[in-house]
Structure 1
Amino acid sequence: MKRNVKWSQAIVVTTMLLILVAVNWAIWAKERHLGEGEVVYLELAPVDPRSLMQGDYMALNFELANQIQSALFQGAVLQDEPQQASNGYVVVRLDEQRIAHFQRLDDGRALSNEERRLRYRLRHGQVRFATDAFFFQEGHAERYEPARYGQFRVNGKGEPLLVAMHGDELNKLGEMAR
């Protein structure tokens, strides 16, 4: 009986250690992505004004997502196939300010120096980059109302992480004026 209890305790401790290692590895990977990822700005597209600011978050839609959705729809119509939930890559061109501009859906061709691949997800007919919402501290909505760009950090696999919101002239929003 005591042997079974010891084995059970050993299994519980080992499982907990494995979970802690996995969680810490995931945190380390995200921190590395945020610290070393390439900065890319995506232009915001209009969203339903009733859902723009809902409490402590902002609903997001990006112009690039609309362009991808249009290209996917045209491809589906040409192939006479319904859109499926999927993941994919889009090729964008970065301008001098690092703002991403739609070039084409990724077809495997080599990229020029100004081009990058960005990963997107298609869910419920909507194209998403990392998230569809930006969360902020309660009571700070007015700081984010002038948002025009989302700043992302993109890793070598093309996976974007939303970092901050920026205004017309790429000024970072949300920070207190000093």
Structure 2
Amino acid sequence: MTRIDFMQRHRTKLFIVLIAAQILFLGGLVSYHYAALWFGQEARLATTPIDPRDLLYGDYVTLNYEISQLDPGLWRGPGNLPEEGDKVYVVLQLAADSDVYQAKALYSRKPAPSGGELIIKGRVRYATNTGIFINYGLEKFYIPENTGKQLEEQTDSLVVKVRIAPWGNAVIEEIEPLTQPR
């Protein structure tokens, strides 16, 4: 049996296998994103919104978290400070007088959390001697049209409720008013 005869004889089976592989791949991508909602722990993060507009996608807020700019003294990784593009893990703990999480330490590898701590994964935007700036993939949140200004007016009283998966990925659940002072 030649290769062409094999292909003609099993064309339908090969087509079904290719379609199934594509569906499984896309399903895996979606499941990976939603797994943070299913398995993740809830954390509230203090933020300051900025109201830009995207002509294609509509209104969204850019969120500037308190944990996005960290003191270099929190670095616990080997060697010098991390560089642009490096993957980092931030250990979060509840603030003493609030229900908002704050950064406790910063590592190059995922540490084991101790009681009450959460680990969130991010990428270094840039690092200087005065600060380490990190993106978590949570910096943009799309909102209903014409509601961005309302959020921007509440800059000192907003928190973002996120779910952080055990492997460090996070997903925004909602933006809400701060119930306790920072």
TM-score, normalised to structure 1, is: 0.71
* Greater Cα shift, 98-107 or 129-138: 98-107
Structure of higher RCO (CA pairs closer than 8 Å, 6+ residues apart): 2
Q: For structure 2, which runs of at least 5 residues remain unmatched after alignment?
A: 128-132
Identify the residue that residue 25 of structure 1 maps to in structure 2: 28
The 2-side partners of 1:35 and 1:74 are apart by 30
Please state whether the residue corresponding to 2:69 is helix, strand or coil: helix
Post-superposition Cα deviations, 1:36-89, rounded to whole Å, max 9, x if no partner, equal: 31110111147xx5xx3324111121111111xx428989xx94x782311110
Mark the CA change 1:25 to 1:98 in structure 2 (over 3 Å): closer, same or farther: farther
Counterparts of residues 24-103 of structure 1 (less than 5 Å): 24-45=27-48, 52-54=51-53, 55-67=58-70, 70-71=71-72, 79=80, 83-95=83-95, 98-103=99-104
Question: Does structure 2 conserve the Cα–Cα contact (< 8 Å) formed by 1:94 and 1:116?
Answer: no
Post-superposition Cα deviations, 1:7-43, rounded to whole Å, max 9, x if no partner, equal: 4543332111111122223333433321331110111
Counterparts of residues 129-168 of structure 1 (less than 5 Å): 129-145=136-152, 146=154, 148-168=158-178
Aligned partner letter, 1:106: Y
Q: 1:136 deviation in Å?
A: 1.4
Question: Does structure 1 conserve the Cα–Cα contact (< 8 Å) formed by 2:46 and 2:160?
Answer: yes
The 2-side partners of 1:45 and 1:93 are apart by 20
Mark the CA change 1:156 to 1:98 in structure 2 (over 3 Å): closer, same or farther: farther
Mark the CA change 1:53 to 1:158 in structure 2 (over 3 Å): closer, same or farther: same
Identify the residue that residue 15 of structure 2 maps to in structure 1: 12
* Greater Cα shift, 35-44 or 111-120: 111-120
Q: For structure 1, which runs of at least 5 residues remain unmatched after alignment?
A: 171-178
Mark the CA change 1:140 to 1:110 in structure 2 (over 3 Å): closer, same or farther: closer
> RMSD in angstroms over aligned alpha carbons?
3.4
The 1-side partners of 2:38 and 2:166 are apart by 13
* Higher relative strand content: 2
Identity %: 16
TM-score, normalised to structure 2, is: 0.70
The 2-side partners of 1:90 and 1:82 are apart by 12
* Higher relative helix content: 1
Aligned partner letter, 1:114: G
Identify the residue that residue 116 of structure 2 maps to in structure 1: 114
